[in-house]
Amino acid sequence: MEKLRLLFTQARRSFTSLSLPQKILSIGSIVLLAGSLGYLVYAVNRVEYAPLLSDLSETELASIVDVLRKKKIPYKLSGSHAVSVPKEKLYETRLVLASEGLPRGSGMGFEIFDQQRLGSTEFVQQINYQRALQGELARTIAQMEEVQECRVHLTLSEETLFKEDQKPARASVFLKLKPGSKLGAKQLQAVAHLVSSAVKGLDPENVTIMSTDGKVFYRKEGSADDQSMSPTQLEIKNRLEEDLRSKVEGMLARVVGADKVTAQVSVELDFSRLQIAEDIYDPDSAVVRSQQKTLENSQGAAPQARGNPDAPINIEGNVLQAEEKQSKIFNRQKETVNYEINRVSRQILRAPGTIKKLSVAVIVDGPYQTQPGQNGSAERVFVGRSPQEVKTLEDLVKKAVGFDEARGDQVTVSNVAFAAEEQNVGAVSVANKYVALLKKHQQLLFNVLLTLLVFLFVVRPFMKRFQKMGEEGAGAQTSPALPEGAAEELIEGPRVLPLRDQVVALVQENPMQAAQVIRAWMREEA
């Protein structure tokens, strides 16, 4: 305890002996040191929060915060759609919320039937069923990674006495997508089939899907704006254009080099479904199908009518004599030939999505030559390719995309210098990499820098000062005798206090030095 008191006394005397700027610097250093140490202690011991739930509606967030308050669980709001809790209580809190049925998702589900009232009419039951079905469908669709919020509106079909009076069920799905997210045609079809499968009597064609910006994602084919393409047709067109573009760029990149060619493809498709049934007859290719020939020979008179129908009595004798006079040879030939004309019967079914017209635009870069510039530095100068080389590249592109002149296809290959990119692109990417790394570890780097500054400007100066004071004290202890006049100066000290008090203070502060002074006096008297 005595040593500690002496240390504080010595520090106080050292501080009072400093000038005003030195005092300000010392106080500032001490405050900076205390603040730095306090921040380091806070940074190490502070509570680390982890996201509990995100992308919540304001109603759900209010319900979750109410439960956290009742359970006395610390929380921190991250905007109006997320809440965070201490990291060590993350999974425990999720289990607590699950036991409370949170989060419930969009709308009210079938839990609406958990609170039934006596005397509910059939109309109320039907409305509750519709609300529950809408809420369950909205929750299911909201589980998709791209969907942030969802609402579903259903128009259920009512049973009628006559079938022709019954109206079909319809559904409308309202989606709010996450920033930067996009739904493909297959995903939209999946949502439409999900809704139609969950609702009795609902056809997928009667499902409409739209977004918050008023864009219709999915609707019945031909319901409105028949001239526009459906999402499926648009996806087929985009995929075909992308395939042709990548084919052209991949082929030319091997010839002119990577990153020296760019291409754009525009395809006009015919999505009409056409079925043709035709019979073709060739009159010049007639062939005998069947032939029938009849030959008849007879000798004698030709049979004639006998007698007079008006005569009451026929005289047969006279008739026979007339026939014998007219007897002769009789020949008859009959021939029937059937011909068959050549006929071709065929049915043509043209699948939708055939190419009506194809347009391809290709830009090729280079070559360049290095020439001395005005300042003596080397500069790249665009030279350009020969017309024969450009024509060869154009022929390659035509072969790759299936060029058809009769269809009206167009292919253009141009040799144009690309915009000169700065050669420090690699350096920029490296700089971005280091910036990202700095942002990731900024807290650790800040703590290290703060500790280094505290050591250089606070700890190190104090250590040097105390080391200097210790060296001065050690030098005083090892000196055998004080120089002439040093004892009087030590005893006299400052003129503020009486001499006796100053001597007592000096002896209490440094008894070893006082003993040396007394020994020196005794040697001088001896």
What pairing do the DSSP bridges indicate for beta strands 354-364 and 410-415? parallel
The CA-based angle 372-382-245, given to 5 degrees, is 150
Q: What is the pLDDT of residue 483?
A: 47
The model's pLDDT over 57-104, given as tens digits with 9 standing for 90+, comes to 777 788 888 888 888 888 888 766 788 888 888 888 888 888 877 776
Question: How long, in residues, is the chain?
Answer: 526
- Token pair, residue 259, equals 């990153």
- Token pair, residue 318, equals 């006279």
Q: What torsion do the CA atoms of 414, 415, 421, 427 make, to the nearest 10 degrees?
A: 100
Tokens 């109206």 map to which residue?
167
What lies within 8 Å, CB to CB, of 15 at 6+ separation is 23, 26
- Is the Cβ–Cβ distance between 139 and 105 less than 8 Å? yes
- Is the Cβ–Cβ distance between 204 and 193 less than 8 Å? yes
H helix or E strand, kind and range, residue 284: strand 274-299
Q: Cite the DSSP H helix spans in 143-230.
A: 185-198
Provide, for the chain, the percentages of residues in helix, strand and coil under a 3-state DSSP scheme, each rounded to the nearest 5.
Answer: 50, 25, 30
Cα–Cα nearest to 93, from 130, 57, 63, 52: 52
- The 3-state secondary structure of 102-124 reads CCCCCCCCHHHHHCCCCCCCHHH
- Is the Cβ–Cβ distance between 171 and 154 less than 8 Å? yes
The list of the chain residues with pLDDT below 70 reads 1, 3-4, 7, 41, 44-45, 55, 79-80, 104-108, 220-231, 299-330, 376, 420-431, 443, 447, 450, 454, 458-459, 461-500, 502, 524-526
Distance CA 192, CA 171 (A): 9
Q: What is the pLDDT of residue 391?
A: 93
Distance CA 503, CA 511 (A): 11
Distance CA 75, CA 80 (A): 13
Cα–Cα nearest to 367, from 255, 262, 264, 263: 255
What lies within 8 Å, CB to CB, of 276 at 6+ separation is 347, 348, 349, 350
Terminal C-alpha separation, the chain: 38
DSSP β-bridge partners for residue 264: 361
Distance CA 217, CA 188 (A): 7
Identify the burial level of 316 via C-beta atoms within 10 angstroms of its C-beta, where 0-12 means exposed, 13-18 middle and 19 or more buried. Answer: exposed
Distance CA 332, CA 323 (A): 21
Q: How many CB atoms lie within 10 A of CB 502?
A: 17
What φ, ψ does residue 76 adopt, rounded to 5°? Answer: -145, 125
Q: What is the pLDDT of residue 401?
A: 92
DSSP β-bridge partners for residue 331: 297
Distance CA 511, CA 3 (A): 12
- Token pair, residue 231, equals 């999402």
- Is the Cβ–Cβ distance between 68 and 75 less than 8 Å? yes
- Token pair, residue 58, equals 């304001």
**Cis omega before residue 367 (within 30°)?**
yes
Distance CA 483, CA 456 (A): 38
Distance CA 475, CA 258 (A): 78
- Is the Cβ–Cβ distance between 55 and 45 less than 8 Å? no
Sequence-distant contacts of 100-103: CB under 8 A, at least 24 apart? 100/67, 102/60, 102/63, 102/64, 102/67, 103/53, 103/56, 103/60, 103/63, 103/64
- Is the Cβ–Cβ distance between 255 and 390 less than 8 Å? no
The rounded Cα 78 to chain-centroid distance in angstroms is: 23
> Could you write out the DSSP letters of every residue in 427-473?
HHHHHHHHHHHHHHTHHHHHHHHHHHHHIIIIIHHHHHHHHHHHHHH
- Is the Cβ–Cβ distance between 347 and 398 less than 8 Å? no
The model's pLDDT over 450-491, given as tens digits with 9 standing for 90+, comes to 677 767 776 676 666 655 654 554 454 444 444 444 444 444
Strand, helix or coil for residue 111: helix
